[in-house]
């Protein structure tokens, strides 16, 4: 009997834009293909302006077998392309544009069956068309934002002036109406270069062979039905939309500091701790951070506060330096705050193991910026949210979570734009941690947690959706 020749594993490639919020879901998708579906993955990593958190993620010991991280050489003199007044998306798109000049040669070294990109890597469509490599898009935010983004070229041609000045809500076909104030920051100023970059990238979405979304049918039924059935999207025409979520970070390296946080949580009662953090890139102003600290103290609730050095310039000041902003919270938190809340509160500088904390039995609620990755991590652990949106599409997410999903409480003011005072912070924290509304939100979050498990298990909607594409790739 002869030993059969080793069967070569199917090979696909991934390409995320910079920023941990974009990298993490594509990374988890790639791992799922490797671990559960027998694929080999090439994961292209844009190294220009890489953060400490990104470098840590791609250390060889953190990668499974058959997962190859392929570094795209850093762009020489990237500063010559950027100016101090450029917004984050403009900087990001320019980094991608210049980095992808290396992509054709890298793709041809080990040609994949398909390339999966995120929203800001759409220059890859033209590159891959010349190489006859099919391109799929992974829309890493909500399907509500995806539907709005696909409608944006129509809005752009039909509406004069600024969308935020519209007297009525914006009606994306088949979806819930959006208040103009809630639309993502990137489209609030049509004269800014950032708007043109966003419009360019979303207008290319229909070029994809298929679009993966990090969601599941029970979480966003209205927008998913619209994308699949509404005539507007059928006439674009929109490629197949595959729900494959929730894809969240599965593994976290536990540092000595992390172990101390988890040990502190072990000593707290179930559902008693409010976890406060503003994502991988979010920052507060000095005045707002002071009000937040006082609000937490006045609430008399247990809390973990991830304290990041405040910035009066930008709510996304930490976007490109995640994991490297070492600081001493005692220098900018109210004098005596750490001492007065000792035992009841825990202040952690810069960074904390978010998924491990949200998964802990003692965590009762999450004061969050409502970025989509954090939203999914909270819901899949059955944790309700106190919504504190800061930038990008986070206001859209916060409104959806409060008004449709029923798992979040919004402030009456607009965090990031107006000062939320300590009294309102105290009130909202108490409602979520102790009130009847908070209990209802927690019940709903736990329902969606179970729904997410079903979607991802064999026979579930997300599992079967991904399997249909996997089988197609394997048959090629």
**Enzyme catalytic residues:** 22, 118
Structure tokens at 16: 């995320």
Structure tokens at 467: 């399997």
- Alpha-carbon distance of 347 to 341, in angstroms, equals 9
Structure tokens at 286: 């000095």
Evaluate the CA torsion angle 186, 157, 396, 188 in order and state its sign: positive
CB 10 within 8 A of CB 474: yes
- Strand order across the 11-15 sheet: 67-72, 40-46, 11-15, 115-117, 135-139, 211-213, 241-243
Structure tokens at 465: 């959706």
- For residues 70, 76, 80, 86, the Cα torsion angle rounded to the nearest 10 degrees is 10
Give me the count of residues in the chain.
476
Q: How much is the CA Rg of the chain, to the nearest whole Å?
A: 22
214-242 in b/e burial notation, b at 16+ Cβ within 10 A? bbbbbbbeebbebbeebebbeeeebeebb
Chain position carrying tokens 């000045």:
165
């Amino acid at each position: 009997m002869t030993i059969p020749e080793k069967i070569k594993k199917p090979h696909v490639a991934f390409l995320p834009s910079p920023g941990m919020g974009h990298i993490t879901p594509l990374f988890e998708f790639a791992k799922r293909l490797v671990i559960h579906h027998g694929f080999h993955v090439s994961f292209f990593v844009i190294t220009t302006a890489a953060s400490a958190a990104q470098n840590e993620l791609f250390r060889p010991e953190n990668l499974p077998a058959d997962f190859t991280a392929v570094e795209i050489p850093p762009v020489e003199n990237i500063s010559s392309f950027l100016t101090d007044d450029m917004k984050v998306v403009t900087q990001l798109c320019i980094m991608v544009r210049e980095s992808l000049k290396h992509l054709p040669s890298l793709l041809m070294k080990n040609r994949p069956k398909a390339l999966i990109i995120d929203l800001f890597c759409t220059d890859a469509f033209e590159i891959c068309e010349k190489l006859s490599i099919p391109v799929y898009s992974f829309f890493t935010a909500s399907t509500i934002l995806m539907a709005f983004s696909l409608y944006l070229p129509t809005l752009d041609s039909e509406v004069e002036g600024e969308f935020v000045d519209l007297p009525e809500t914006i009606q994306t076909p088949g979806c819930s109406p959006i208040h103009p104030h809630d639309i993502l920051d990137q489209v609030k100023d049509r004269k800014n270069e950032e708007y043109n970059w966003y419009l360019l990238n979303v207008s290319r979405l229909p070029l994809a062979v298929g679009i993966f979304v990090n969601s599941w049918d029970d979480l966003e039924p209205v927008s998913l039905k619209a994308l699949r059935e509404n005539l507007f999207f059928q006439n674009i025409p929109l490629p197949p939309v595959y729900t494959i979520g929730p894809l969240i970070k599965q593994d976290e390296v536990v540092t000595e500091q992390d172990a101390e946080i988890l040990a502190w949580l072990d000593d707290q009662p179930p559902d008693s701790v409010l976890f406060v953090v503003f994502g991988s890139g979010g920052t507060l102003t000095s005045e707002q951070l002071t009000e937040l600290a006082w609000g937490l103290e006045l609430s008399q609730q247990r809390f973990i506060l991830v304290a990041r050095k405040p910035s009066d310039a930008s709510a996304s000041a930490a976007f490109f330096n995640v994991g490297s902003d070492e600081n001493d919270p005692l220098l900018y938190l109210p004098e005596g705050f750490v001492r007065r809340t000792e035992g009841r509160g825990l202040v952690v500088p810069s960074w904390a193991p978010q998924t491990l904390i949200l998964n802990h039995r003692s965590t009762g609620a999450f004061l969050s910026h409502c970025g989509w990755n954090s939203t999914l991590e909270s819901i899949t652990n059955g944790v309700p949210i106190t919504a504190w949106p800061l930038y990008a599409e986070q206001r859209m997410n916060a409104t959806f979570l409060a008004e449709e999903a029923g798992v979040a409480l919004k402030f009456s003011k607009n965090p990031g734009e107006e000062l939320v005072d300590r009294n309102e912070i105290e009130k909202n924290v108490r409602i979520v941690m102790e009130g009847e509304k908070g209990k209802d939100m927690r019940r709903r979050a736990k329902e969606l947690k179970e729904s997410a498990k079903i979607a991802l298990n064999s026979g579930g909607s997300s599992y079967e959706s991904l399997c249909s594409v996997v089988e197609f790739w394997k048959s090629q």
